[in-house]
Amino acid sequence: MTKIPVEDLEVKVSDSVVKKGGLFSFSYPTYKISTFPLLWTVRRKESDFVSLRKYFVKHYSNQLIPPLMSDGKLTEERMRKKEYFF
């Protein structure tokens, strides 16, 4: 397996979509995450970004970890802003 240096890895968050809830669940946004040059693509919930930030804060306490946007209404404009900050 070829090891890729961290500085050569690019991660892009895009294509946010609201997943409609069912009878007993709420609607929630999901975000497409693409990596280059690995070419992996996955969809993740907002809660996954919150968990990842908590991990970074715990294990990299000597680094500045920016805050995430607080929750609000699921508008398209707000979801695009979150894509940028994630």
CA angle 44, 49, 54 (to 5 degrees): 145
Q: Residue 1: its pLDDT value, please?
A: 63
Question: Domains in the chain, please, with CATH?
Answer: 6-85 (3.30.1520.10)
Backbone angles phi, psi at 79, to 5 degrees: -65, -35
| 17 vs 21, residue with greater confidence | 17
Q: Residue 51: its pLDDT value, please?
A: 93
Q: Residue 41: its pLDDT value, please?
A: 95
Give the Cα separation of 58 and 77 in Å (integer): 31
Task: Tell me the pLDDT tens digit for each residue of 30-84.
Answer: 999 999 988 999 999 988 989 999 999 999 989 898 888 776 677 888 888 888 8
Q: Residue 23: its pLDDT value, please?
A: 77
pTM of the shown model: 0.75
Backbone angles phi, psi at 11, to 5 degrees: -125, 130
3-state SS, one letter per residue, for the chain:
CCCCCHHHCEEEEEEEEEECCCCCCCCEEEEEEEEECCCCEEEEEHHHHHHHHHHHHHHCCCCCCCCCCCCCCCCHHHHHHHHHHC
Q: How confident is the model at residue 85 (pLDDT cuts 50, 70, 90)?
A: confident
